[in-house]
Amino acid sequence: MNWHGLELPEAYYRDDAVYIIHGDCRLILPLIPDKSINLVLTDPPYKDDFIWAYRNIAEQGARILKDEALLFAYAGSMYLPTILEETTKYLTWIWLFNLQHHQFSRIWHHEIMQTSKPIIALSKGNHAKLNWLRTDLPAESADKRFHKQWGQAIGIPCLIISKVTNETAIILDPFLGAGTFAVAAKKLGRKCIGIEISEEYCAIAAKRCSQAVMALPIEPNQKEVKSSEIFFPLLDGIEGKELRGLIENEHH
Ligand SMILES: C[S@@+](CC[C@H](N)C(=O)[O-])C[C@H]1O[C@@H](n2cnc3c(N)ncnc32)[C@H](O)[C@@H]1O
């Protein structure tokens, strides 16, 4: 099927901004055209039997990302060394971001109180600038309304997408879940291709995306960012107010 000039596998759901494919991303990713994606933003399962997921998205990312485009992947801390070893075989290491939590989890065997979740950033080739994206991404509780087990909140994906892409971008989430990152992309006036293996979650993501309304672009890429803004909590800055309007609009 042709969608914005890209030949893609059959859609489970499509509209002008979102294209959802029901299937195993190991089989679907090889069918995504070369150099067609501006940002891979994804949240694979974190368990040890999903190390392949990070290797796979990096290997395929090296083909389907445009030159100097970025990959952001939420990750668990436990297997981070292996994840970095595997992903940097294919993409260039950029930085580690931390999604702050409101609560902490106890890592009993190390006696650690974990208050954040890592998000790794890599690029195809060199990417010099991330538009002053702060490394300590502001606290946001997980949103389990749509994906009971693993649902992420929408504020951080909105922040990442608005910082590192412009309105012409096509974003890819190969582990779409309940569609949080696709909804974020649509609300920001970007396009998103999502892949999800569970039909139940495809249906939830499709419903959410069909209800999401494209907003006027925030256009941070066109705006000069003052250094003082970088250190303001996301939801207190001017940019945060605009994002908050988008985030609070979603009903379930
Ligand atoms: C951590 S969840 C993503 C949650 C999502 N960010 C949200 O907020 O709803 C990971 C998702 O990957 C899906 N998944 C697991 N293996 C997959 C595969 N091989 N291909 C595509 N999706 C897969 C799971 O069904 C699950 O919904």
Per residue in 162-198, pLDDT (tens digit) is 999 999 999 999 999 999 999 999 999 999 999 999 9
Higher pLDDT, 6 or 137: 6
**What is the structure's pLDDT at 113?**
93
Residue nearest to atom 13 of ligand 1 (CA): 175
Distance CA(172)–CA(33), nearest Å, equals 12
Per residue in 91-114, pLDDT (tens digit) is 999 999 999 887 788 999 999 999
Mean pLDDT, residues 20-45: 98
Q: How far is the CA of 23 from the centre of ligand 1 (A)?
A: 11
Inform me whether the pLDDT recorded for 42 exceeds 70: yes
Q: How many CA atoms lie within 13 A of 16 on its CB side?
A: 7
In angstroms, the first-to-last Cα distance of the chain is: 30
Per residue in 54-65, pLDDT (tens digit) is 999 999 999 999
What's the whole-number average pLDDT of the chain? 86
Higher pLDDT, 22 or 114: 22
Q: What are phi and psi of 80, to 5 degrees?
A: -55, -45
Higher pLDDT, 36 or 238: 36
Q: How far is residue 45 CA from its own chain's centroid?
A: 13
CB 212 within 8 A of CB 186: yes
Inform me whether the pLDDT recorded for 252 exceeds 50: no
Q: Please calculate the CA angle 204-170-229 and round it to the nearest 5 degrees.
A: 95
Residue 146 pLDDT class (50, 70, 90 cuts)? confident
Q: How far is the CA of 44 from the centre of ligand 1 (A)?
A: 6
Mean pLDDT, residues 43-54: 92
Residue 220 pLDDT class (50, 70, 90 cuts)? very low
Mean pLDDT, residues 31-54: 95
Ligand 1, residues at Cβ distance < 6 Å: 24-26, 43-45, 146-147, 150-152, 174-175, 177-178, 180, 195-198, 201
Q: Which of 32-41, 211-220, 229-238 is least confident? A: 229-238
Q: How far is the CA of 147 from the centre of ligand 1 (A)?
A: 9
Inform me whether the pLDDT recorded for 226 exceeds 50: no
Mean pLDDT, residues 61-74: 97
160: closest CA among 139, 188, 179, 141?
188
Inform me whether the pLDDT recorded for 3 exceeds 60: yes
Domain layout of the chain by residue ranges: 2-247
Distance CA(78)–CA(229), nearest Å, equals 32
Q: How far is the CA of 195 from the centre of ligand 1 (A)?
A: 8
Residue nearest to atom 16 of ligand 1 (CA): 197
Residue 217 pLDDT class (50, 70, 90 cuts)? very low
> pTM higher than 0.85, yes or no?
yes
- Tell which CATH architecture fits domain 2-247: 3-Layer(aba) Sandwich (3.40)
Q: How far is the CA of 224 from the centre of ligand 1 (A)?
A: 36
Highest mean pLDDT among 57-61, 223-227, 237-241, 248-252: 57-61
